[in-house]
Chain A
Amino acid sequence: MKRLVATALVVFAASAHAQVAPPDLTGVWAPYRGGRGADPKLAPPPASPLVLKPDYAQAFDAKRKAEAAAAEKGEPIASGAVACVPYGMPRMMSVALYPIEILPTRAQVTIVTEAFSEVRRIYMNVPQLPMGDVPPGYYGRSVGRWDGDTLVVDTIGVKTTVPAYQNMPHSDRMRITERIRLVANDFLHDEITIDDPVVLEKPVTYTLAYRRMPGYEMVEFVCDNNREYIDEKGGTHLKVRDR
């Protein structure tokens, strides 16, 4: 009898858990970084190490050294952003101090970023396509579902030319899994795991934290006055005017 009651309670608790209304993520969110003045309970926890397979690690390290040397000379190697090319997934989820806007509807969660006005669409409760069936793009294809209070998002199909976390290279087998949840009133965490069996020795996980910005009106970002240019060696320069 006791076992029956216990079982009934577990079933009840499980169904109550499944029926709980998902938290409302609607609104504008600004990156919330760790460091001085940040609440350690709300700041992002440390990332796991980024471990590339040896062939990729060597090239990655060499590229980083070349970047450091060029920066020292005052001619930093251009990133796509210098040419106003958007960041794509997953870097668009955290660009400097720029906020993001989350717009959930029943069938779709839309995320709009302020930097470069990027848009990603997360299709809810639909199956993901097989790896390789998504046309490569900056945002790939994202599907989501609620797991209790956590929005779980699966993304595949990000172009291999779009740098990923910490500008790591990736293959067309990269899969990004996000677990997005409120960790306190008005504080959101997006725990991002990148798996790439071609490039990574093991998946890497890092967390982005955000704080809500009530009433904030998103600023437009149309790159129509880009005065930076990239020379034939890939260095960045600034066009200055005579008058």
Chain B
Amino acid sequence: MAAAIVLLLAGLLHHSFAMFDTTKQVTLVGTVTTFEWTNPHAYIEIDVPAENGATKHWSIELGSPSILQQAGWKFKDLKYGDKVTAVVNPLKSGQAGALLMRVTLPDGRVLGNGPGAAGRQ
């Protein structure tokens, strides 16, 4: 299973994904500040409420528009202010950056980071 995920990710990204800890999953519930439909990667910027009332900001890396489109994404699927739940692999460095595994959109749809990746555990 792990090997399959590794191969899948290798197929989605234009570089090694070893920056991210693919053994760890973090669930981020927050508000989208920007959704950048760009190359070589799309990004979801998200504000996540922290315990002390503050906000922690995360940058979430996705595949490229081409790959996302093959997985059912559209460039206008997310916008400023959308409330989402994203399951991500965090950066090994500890910074607030991550690789998307899947995200639940405001309309309830769940999108992954590439064809066949939606909803994988």
Contacts and interface: CB of A to CB of B under 8 A. Distances in A.
Contacts of A89: none
A69 B36 CA distance: 32
B15 to A, nearest CB: 5
A219 B92 contact: no
A98 B18 contact: no
B39 A224 contact: yes
Nearest to B18: A71
A221 B69 CA distance: 13
B11 A78 contact: no
A223 B40 CA distance: 5
A219 B61 CA distance: 19
A240 interface: yes
B36 A238 contact: no
Contact of A240 (B47, B59, B64): B59
Given A74-B19, A74-B92, A98-B66, A115 B33 contact: no
Contacts, number: 101
A172 B72 CA distance: 43
Given A76-B16, A79-B15, A241-B57, A97 B67 contact: yes
B88 to A, nearest CB: 12
Nearest to A68: B18
Contact of A243 (B12, B13, B33, B38): B33
Interface of A: 70-79, 81-82, 84, 95-98, 114-115, 219-228, 236-243
14 contacts: A74-B21, A77-B16, A81-B14, A81-B15, A81-B40, A84-B40, A97-B11, A97-B114, A221-B40, A226-B41, A228-B40, A236-B15, A238-B61, A243-B45
